[in-house]
Structure 1
Amino acid sequence: MSGRLPSTVFALGTVSLLTDISAEMVTAFLPVYLIYTLQLSYVQFGLLDGLYTGATAVLRLIGGFVSDRTSRPKLVALFGYGLSAVTKLVFPMAGASSVAIGGVLAVDRAGKGIRTAPRDALISLATSPDQLGAAFGVHRAMDTVGALCGPLLTFLILAQLGSAAGPVFVVSFCFAAIGVVVLLTFVREHRAKAKPSKVSLRAGLGLLRDRKFRRAAIAATLLGLVTISDAFVFVVLQKVSDIPVGVLPLLPLGTAAMFLLAAAPVGRLADRVGRWRMFFIGHVLLLVTYVTLLVPHGGFVAVAVALTAHGLFYACTDGILMAYAGGFVPAELRATGLATIQTGQALARMTSSIVFGVMLAGMTMAVAVSALVVVLVVALVAVAFLVRSS
């Protein structure tokens, strides 16, 4: 492995750190706000959380395509980060209306969808191929520092000021705005051509004819269908383990802490042993997380096991999939290619959140989680055969 990682990786890591503080403050606050304050049902929560995840889907493709078409990934990413920042000020105006909350969440996630592929393209284009796992690992580790700080800030604000939404979202906006300034000032754009590239939608869709790309897209989508949202993991874990409700906003810290510790070393390991293999191992760890949700009255021991496995799952999958795809997607279609894989994954996870919310409303929590475990095992077997046949 050659040399130091480029400065672009660390600059974008700082942007993601600040933005994730903002985003995770909201993520930690939503279960408390929606389920315990607004008394929304599991079905309503599943729909909103699915929207929160899936609103990024189509816009990932648009953001990736525009980025490649104009050869201006930084500008496209800047627009996405700015859009998400503005929603933090609008959110308190939604009040108790689930429709208004859903609309604001959709706009916030639209910003994430627009910026994700251009950001990942900036990282992959600035990094040598043999360091992609390490680069994405370092970026995700810095991102996860924000994921650690966000829930902690939310917990402190709620402890000091009560459950009012205003203070949480104002502080969240401030961090998001600083992230936009850092992106504008310190991130350098890798531009291979002086003129906008002649990228077409047909060329982007043509990536699906490539066997390796198609395999990655299908596998990511299939496993996304059995990946419930973090919010549901934390809500179910809090209920089955019998820990206090007040601890719920802190549960993301456990996942984030393990992700932070493991992201960089797992990224470097993936560069050596295989990025695809590491991605598959991550979903085996997700299975461990779900099995732990079946342990009744497990207390803080069950919580520790579940959050450790959950954090390792993210370390093995989040940046690793993009590092894997970034190794073979052509540079001129890099953002479009990454966005295509991300879109399938996002749509699948949106579906899983909605379906799991309906399952929780219609059956016991143990039965719903048991069904999830069985389906994940089937998906893992199917993906293993897919990889072997390819």
Structure 2
Amino acid sequence: MRRIFSKTIITLSLVSFFTDIASEMLYPVMPIYLKSIGFTALLIGILEGIAEATAGLSKGYFGELSDRLGKRVIFIRWGYLLSALSKPAMAISKWPIWIFVARTTDRIGKGLRTSARDALLSDESTPETRGKVFGFHRGMDTLGAAVGPAIALLLLWLFPGDYSIIFLITIIPGLAAVLLTLLLKEKNRSQGTAKPQNGASPFSFLGYWRQSPVNYRHIVVGLIFFTLINSSDAFLLLKVKEEGASDTLVIGLYIFYNLAYALLSYPMGWLSDKLGMKRMVIFGIAIFAITYLGFALVSKWSVFILLFGLYSLYAASTEGVLKAWLANNLPKTKTATGIGLYNSLQSIATLLASSLAGLIWVMAGSGIVFMISAVGATLAGIYLYIFTRTSVTYQGSE
């Protein structure tokens, strides 16, 4: 355990744990709060669309900049600080422009830190331990995602209808995360081929696609296709609600999913190191297809408990493992750039997927949405099986 998990890995995992507590405290109440201060469904959609697009593009930009400068910690520290301050800021004023600025700042913080953090996790691990490391980090992150909604429920019980207090209290876990980043130390790294003083344009990270390893490109193509048919988890909760579940049960299922996901993440990461990351990711996508087929066919909401359990197995088998798989197929000086490029493409694909899912839901019903996702996931799994290799590990810097 000590050889696998360095001080840096444990610190990053705790930082993510506290940050996700803050983020997920807001997840169940954000739409309700925005409606209570006068936001229409259209404004909420525009707000979230701009926020996610900002996060998506900034992940690639700051990932490439991290590689150019040969630095990780400064991006991580400032990214978590921006997010910690912007969440409670949303409760200070109900002015729409202020809400837009605060929400976008939160997403810029996520974009600023994500690729550099993933690259640092890769730097602190070896090809033989990377699945365990990313799995452990993902488990701690997701544990925070289970604790956060539970705290939100408690606060709503203590202060009924007072949503602003939840936003304000997020400052506590948010600043705890920021203080923990002070334990991180920057290590000397060789810079990439581009001179840092030349900077990076907002879209220059896209140019890495042509230079990237072939197996990396095949993996990304398969994963982005999968993302395009994988809509927001909110649609799963909406389906349960549609079938007659109470609000408490819906939030309870979300907490159950995150707890199961957190507990399974490290074991699945450990298995990926033993059995191969390609096999684990394809296994996870197969579980996804089965789960979404269940959501398409089942109308008895009590069965959804089993389906959410399966969904947690899918998430634990893919979310952390696929980052480790990508890292194993990138040269060290391009880890943040490569993961940042994937993160950006994934964010844009997620935005498109949720928009399309919402449109199909309205036009054809929820069953069609989940059936399309199940079929698409099967095709994505077949593509990854045929066109990718288990791992092409790069030891050098080029």
Q: TM-score, normalised by structure 2?
A: 0.87
Q: Distance between the aligned counterparts of 1:48 and 1:252, measured in 2?
A: 23
Q: Distance between the aligned counterparts of 1:313 and 1:150, measured in 2?
A: 21
Alignment of structure 1 residues 365-376 onto 2, 5 Å? 365-376=366-377
Q: Distance between the aligned counterparts of 1:46 and 1:317, measured in 2?
A: 28
> What displacement does 1:100 show?
5.9
The answer for the alignment partner of 2:156 in structure 1 is 158
- State which drifts further: 1-10 or 32-41: 32-41
The answer for the alignment partner of 1:134 in structure 2 is 132
Q: 1:100 to 1:377 in 2, by over 3 A?
A: farther
Taking only the aligned residue pairs, the percentage that are identical comes to 25
For structure 2, list consecutive stretches of 5 or more residues without a partner in the other structure. 392-398
- 1:90 is the counterpart of 2:92: no
The answer for the alignment partner of 2:114 in structure 1 is 116
> What displacement does 1:49 show?
4.6
> What displacement does 1:142 show?
1.2
The answer for the alignment partner of 1:67 in structure 2 is 66
The answer for the alignment partner of 2:226 in structure 1 is 223
Q: TM-score, normalised by structure 1?
A: 0.88
The answer for the alignment partner of 1:56 in structure 2 is 55
Q: 1:366 to 1:338 in 2, by over 3 A?
A: same
Q: 1:204 to 1:371 in 2, by over 3 A?
A: closer
Q: Distance between the aligned counterparts of 1:375 and 1:265, measured in 2?
A: 27
Which one of 175, 194, 199 corresponds to residue 199 of structure 1? Answer: 194
Equivalent residue letter for 1:105: R
> What displacement does 1:132 show?
0.5
- 1:233 is the counterpart of 2:232: no
Which one of 242, 246, 249 corresponds to residue 248 of structure 2? Answer: 246
CA contact 2:131–2:321 (8 Å) conserved in 1:
yes
> What displacement does 1:191 show?
2.5
The answer for the alignment partner of 2:24 in structure 1 is 24
The structure in which a higher percent of residues are helix is 1
> What displacement does 1:362 show?
2.9
Q: Distance between the aligned counterparts of 1:18 and 1:214, measured in 2?
A: 33
CA contact 1:122–1:189 (8 Å) conserved in 2:
no
Deviations along 1:28-57, one digit per CA (max 9) or x if unpaired, are 22354457997855x766655555544321
Deviations along 1:130-180, one digit per CA (max 9) or x if unpaired, are 111111111111112211100100111112212322111111122111101
For structure 1, list consecutive stretches of 5 or more residues without a partner in the other structure. none
Equivalent residue letter for 2:174: A
Q: Distance between the aligned counterparts of 2:14 and 2:326, measured in 1?
A: 23
Provide the alpha-carbon RMSD of the alignment.
2.8
The answer for the alignment partner of 2:354 in structure 1 is 353
CA contact 2:142–2:258 (8 Å) conserved in 1:
yes
The answer for the alignment partner of 1:273 in structure 2 is 275
Q: Which secondary structure does the structure 1 equivalent of 2:296 belong to?
A: coil
Q: Distance between the aligned counterparts of 2:98 and 2:365, measured in 1?
A: 30
Q: Distance between the aligned counterparts of 1:257 and 1:335, measured in 2?
A: 29
Q: How many residues align?
A: 382
Deviations along 1:263-297, one digit per CA (max 9) or x if unpaired, are 11110110111112211221222223322323454
> What displacement does 1:16 show?
0.4
Q: Which secondary structure does the structure 2 equivalent of 1:130 belong to?
A: coil
CA contact 1:54–1:349 (8 Å) conserved in 2:
no
CA contact 1:204–1:337 (8 Å) conserved in 2:
no
Q: Distance between the aligned counterparts of 1:369 and 1:266, measured in 2?
A: 25
The answer for the alignment partner of 2:9 in structure 1 is 9
Q: Which secondary structure does the structure 1 equivalent of 2:189 belong to?
A: coil
